[in-house]
Amino acid sequence: MLTNKENGVKIINVCGARPNFMKIAPLMRAYRADGRIQPILVHTGQHYDEKMNKWFFDELDIPVPDINLEVGSGSHAVQTAEIMTRFEPVVLQHKPDAVLVVGDVNSTVACTLVATKLNIPVIHVEAGLRSFDRTMPEEVNRLVTDCLAELLFVTEPSGVENLRCEGVADDKIHFVGNVMIDTLLGFRDKAAESTVLETLRLEAKHYAVVTLHRPSNVDDEETFARILTALEQIQSQMPVVFPMHPRTRANLGKSPLGARVAEMSNLRIVDPLGYLDFMHLMSRAACVLTDSGGIQEETTILSVPCLTLRENTERPVTIDEGTNQLVGSDPQKIIDAFHTALSATESTKRPALWDGKAAERIVEVINKWSVARGVPAAKHASVSQ
Ligand code: UD1
């Protein structure tokens, strides 16, 4: 295996799309505090809009990426292939001891394939989550990444079970908690200062938030129409804020559903929000309706009812020990669940190890692992003593 004898443990860290940024942020901070790992940050450029990208780096204090592959958008095959083509020379040049990937986006799987074929170990943060629905691109990305990764960091007990069932050896699996929640807890006070409610003229606990971007919801006109039927009802009772993903906006622009949306006077469509404004908006909402994965986790910690507009979730702990409920796309089911959510008592449960310290645990495990594999102890070891 390649080692970096003079510089300590060298890890290329990959991020590419919006949900990766809040996962990479606490890791970069933990590396800095620990001092034993030499991180290189690679941005694939899967997300490139200022609102989906730069704002998060600024707000979450993520270092400017050392390398930006600037791949942009494309079909799954084109985007994945483009990331691979541009990532391979980076790995060859820097000869890292490991490549660390987070989450389940196309950048995650593309860089995993490149590293593995160059015999560089892959570390996967947020391993083991399974929706058991292979029509989801993210499920395919998760399966391939986990099957190739050397070190698998897991956020919830279901992830450990899933990996064991797939034959992953116990010594590769580490249940460490949730780096996304590290970011949420770390930036909670700062998010509290946001003035987004004043800007949108909203009253705390008297509005709902909706986000939708999954192809199964927004590329399928029938499904999207069913969800809109529910939103028509909900916005007649309270304002509904809809920070709209570019994919969703593009689809509405070319569909007759756009006219239906325009007629909902209490549905406020806004551009994607920065992290701090969005956390503030969610934390004071009466209810959140979403098809996102990460928002199911964030609402659980914020104790805000979450209605997930999907038939399955890869994050079952948010149902068992959180505020999440699967409601699919049936309008009546969504409306009924919305009414029930409004009268729900506030949940105080919190999944195990979602305590803001996941990144620290990950860095500890990586350091032990690298020593066990013969990667020399880092030159900065004394810093953390
Ligand atoms: C990706 C992830 C998804 C994640 C989501 C969060 C995959 C397979 N999907 O989906 O898991 O939940 O990010 O947002 O990796 N676009 C822009 N500006 C951008 C980025 C995208 O306008 O900065 C538009 C483009 O038209 C693009 C479309 O959005 O074709 C989809 O972007 P893409 O990165 O392919 O997937 P997402 O739907 O964002």
Asked whether the predicted pLDDT for residue 151 surpasses 80, the reply is yes
Using the predicted structure, report yes or no on whether residue 144 has a pLDDT greater than 50.
yes
What's residue 383's pLDDT?
Answer: 37
pLDDT value of position 341 = 94
- What is the pLDDT, as a whole number, of residue 7? 63
> 137 in ligand 1 pocket by Cβ < 6 Å?
yes
* The predicted structure's pLDDT at residue 382: 38
Query: Is the per-residue pLDDT at 385 higher than 80?
Result: no
Helix axes 18-34, 358-372, angle to 10 degrees: 60
Q: What is the rounded average pLDDT for all residues in the chain?
A: 95
Residue 100 or residue 7, greater confidence: 100
Instruction: Answer yes or no: 245 catalytic.
Output: no
Give residue 348's identity as a one-letter amino acid code: T
Contacts for 151 with CB less than 8 Å, ≥ 6 apart: 98, 121, 122, 123, 124, 172, 174, 365, 366, 369
CA distance 16 to 107: 6
76 has pLDDT over 60: yes
Domains of the chain (ranges; CATH) run 2-177+354-383 (3.40.50.2000), 194-342 (3.40.50.2000)
Ligand 1 pocket member 199 (CB < 6 A): no
pLDDT digits (tens, 9 = 90+) for 317-374: 999 999 999 999 999 999 999 999 999 888 788 999 999 999 999 999 999 999 998 8
Task: Give me the sign of the Cα torsion angle 63, 69, 72, 75.
Answer: negative
Pure H helices in the chain = 18-34, 54-59, 76-94, 106-117, 137-148, 157-165, 179-186, 188-192, 196-199, 215-218, 221-235, 246-253, 257-262, 275-283, 294-302, 317-320, 331-342, 358-372
Q: Is the pLDDT of residue 142 over 60?
A: yes
Taking only the tens place, the pLDDT of each residue in 114-138 is: 999 999 999 999 999 999 999 999 9
pLDDT, residue 348, reads 81
Among candidates 124, 121, 115, which has minimal Cα distance to 23?
A: 124
pLDDT of residue 6: 53
For residue 78, the CA-to-ligand 1 centroid distance in Å is 13
Q: What is the pLDDT of residues 17-47, one digit of tens each?
A: 999 999 999 999 999 999 999 999 999 999 9
2 pLDDT above the threshold of 50: no
- Is 82 near ligand 1, meaning CB less than 6 Å away? no
CA of 217 relative to ligand 1 center, distance in Å: 14
Q: Is the pLDDT of residue 83 over 50?
A: yes
Q: Tell me phi and psi for residue 324, to 5 degrees.
A: -90, 150
Ligand 1 centre to CA of 284 (Å) is 27
**Best mutation site among 47, 129, 216 for ligand 1, i.e. most ligand atoms within 8 A of its Cβ?**
47
**Average of per-residue pLDDT across 242-257:** 96
Among residues 213, 245, 280, 380, the one annotated as catalytic is 213
Name, in order, each residue with C-beta under 8 angstroms of 134's C-beta and a sequence gap of 6 or more.
Answer: 140, 143
Q: Report whether pLDDT(56) > 90.
A: yes
CA distances from 30 to 122, 182, 221, 373 (A): 19, 11, 44, 21
Q: Is the pLDDT of residue 290 over 90?
A: yes
- Region 233-258: mean pLDDT is 97
